[in-house]
Amino acid sequence: MRLYQITELEQLTGIKAHTIRIWEKRYSLIEPDRTSTNYRRYNDEQVRKILNVSTLLTNGYKISKIAALSEKEIHAKIHEMQANTNEDVIFTGFINDLVAAMIIFDEPAFEKTYSAVINRLGLYDAMVDVFYPLLNKIGLLWSTSDVSPAQEHFASCLIKRKIMAATDGLPAPKNKKKKFLLLLIPEEMHEISLLFANYIIRSKGYETIYLGQDVPYENISMVVKQAKPNVLLTFFTTPQDPKSVYSDFKKNLNFNENIKVLVSGHAGITEYLKNKMSAIIISKPADLLAHI
């Protein structure tokens, strides 16, 4: 079990460190461990509790009322909150629940919240309103070392598994007017957006050829020649030299005017490819829908 500093708790929950100290003193909300030099340290369950408190505060509850609740009562209030019609509040609650489950590697809790999100929103809106914001939050926490790579992988792998299962559950493609090739070029490993794009395209009845992450250029070239896709879609999340990316595209992929290239992600790369090879930039899922 990891112990967190108060600054890390602030990053995870969005509650200022000064406010947390006041809550400890005034309401005995949590009682952190302390080091030999009297620095506060918070365990996973205490982080989880502050995340739940943050959710209730967002929903209009007063801290004095929250502090008087038992853990069981706090959980019950959060479940009541999920029936609220204020969607921004609901989304915040879902995100906090997923972060709390991720911190302690609680797969059943993560699955339960995931199912609640999907049942309420459907996969498309769930990705846009909950899971992308969740991943952005995790990315920020990971960059500041407030969550470990293991915790990030835990959440990402569960989401990827769910998207793949949802895609497998779609009917066989019937629309033969377009064929989409989806891939990530060498050194690109972050696959969730590509998987979601694959789900969106398949849900509209189109055929996709899904190659996944870190695909060598020569393999891409072979597929283009043999399968003759109408559209190629790729994402850039890893910083790379735009000129090198363009050079590799030009050298290895003999695209003709019949292949539309859709790119998303790193602005420096996508803008360069837009200018050099008339690639179309996809900034959000709605943009992809417009080009299907």
Give the predicted TM-score (pTM) of the model.
0.76
Confidence at residue 182, expressed as pLDDT on a 0 to 100 scale? 97
Question: CA–CA separation, 190 vs 200, rounded Å?
Answer: 18
DSSP H stretches of helix in the chain: 6-13, 17-27, 44-58, 63-67, 71-81, 87-103, 107-126, 132-143, 149-168, 192-203, 217-227, 242-252, 267-277, 285-290
Residue 278 CB burial class (10 angstroms; 0-12, 13-18, ≥19): exposed
pLDDT at 187 over 70: yes
The distance of Cα 167 from the centroid of its chain, to the nearest Å, equals 17
Where does the pLDDT of residue 193 fall: very low under 50, low under 70, confident under 90, or very high at 90 and above?
Answer: very high
pLDDT surpassing 80 at residue 141: no
CATH topology of domain 171-290: Rossmann fold (3.40.50)
Q: Is 176 exposed, middle or buried (0-12, 13-18, 19+ CB in 10 A)?
A: exposed
Per-residue confidence at 173, pLDDT binned at 50, 70, 90?
very high
Model pLDDT for residues 204-256, shown as the tens digit of each residue: 999 999 999 999 998 998 998 899 899 999 999 888 889 999 988 887 776 66
Residue 143, pLDDT above cutoff 60: no
pLDDT-derived band at 145 (thresholds 50, 70, 90) equals low
Strand pairing partners for 42? 4
Query: How do residues 24-72 score in pLDDT, each as one tens digit?
Result: 989 888 888 888 888 888 887 888 888 888 878 877 788 998 988 888 8
**Among candidate residues 21, 141, 29, the one with its CA nearest the CA of residue 74:** 29
pLDDT score recorded for residue 42: 87
Residue 179: what pLDDT? 94
Longest dimension (CA), the chain: 69
| SS3 state at 51 | helix
Antiparallel, parallel or unpaired: β 175-183 and 206-212: parallel
**Residues 217-241, buried b or exposed e (16+ Cβ, 10 A)?**
eeebeebbeeeebebbbbbbbeebe
Task: Give the pLDDT of residue 275.
Answer: 93
Tell me the domain boundaries of the chain. Answer: 6-165, 171-290
DSSP calls for 12-41: HH---HHHHHHHHHHH-----EE-TT--EE
Burial class (CB in 10 A: 0-12, 13-18, 19+), 180: buried
Q: Which residues pair with 176 in a beta bridge?
A: none
Q: Would you place residue 264 in the very low, low, confident or very high pLDDT band (cuts 50, 70, 90)?
A: very high
Stronger pLDDT, 184 or 237, i.e. the higher one: 184
Annotation: CATH topology of 6-165? Multidrug-efflux Transporter Regulator; Chain: A; Domain 2 (1.10.1660)
Q: Is 105 helix (H, G, I), strand (E, B) or coil?
A: coil
Q: How many CB atoms lie within 10 A of CB 19?
A: 14
Task: Please state the rounded mean pLDDT for residues 80-94.
Answer: 73
8 Å CB contact between 8 and 49: no
Q: By three-state DSSP, how is residue 277 classified?
A: helix
Check residue 12 and give its pLDDT.
77
Give yes or no for residue 108 having a pLDDT over 80: yes
Residue-level pLDDT at 11: 78
| Confidence bin at 7 (pLDDT 50/70/90) | confident
> Mean pLDDT for the chain?
87
Contacts of 65 (CB under 8 A, 6+ apart): none
pLDDT score of 1 more than 70? no
pLDDT at 158 over 90: yes
pLDDT at 202 over 90: yes
Cβ proximity of 251 and 260 under 8 Å:
no
Percent of the chain with pLDDT over 90: 43
pLDDT the model gives residue 84: 59
The pLDDT of residue 87 is 72
Which 3 state secondary structure label does DSSP give 130?
helix
Cβ atoms of residues 169 and 123 within 8 Å = no
The reported pLDDT for the residue numbered 185 is: 93
Q: How many residues does the chain have?
A: 292
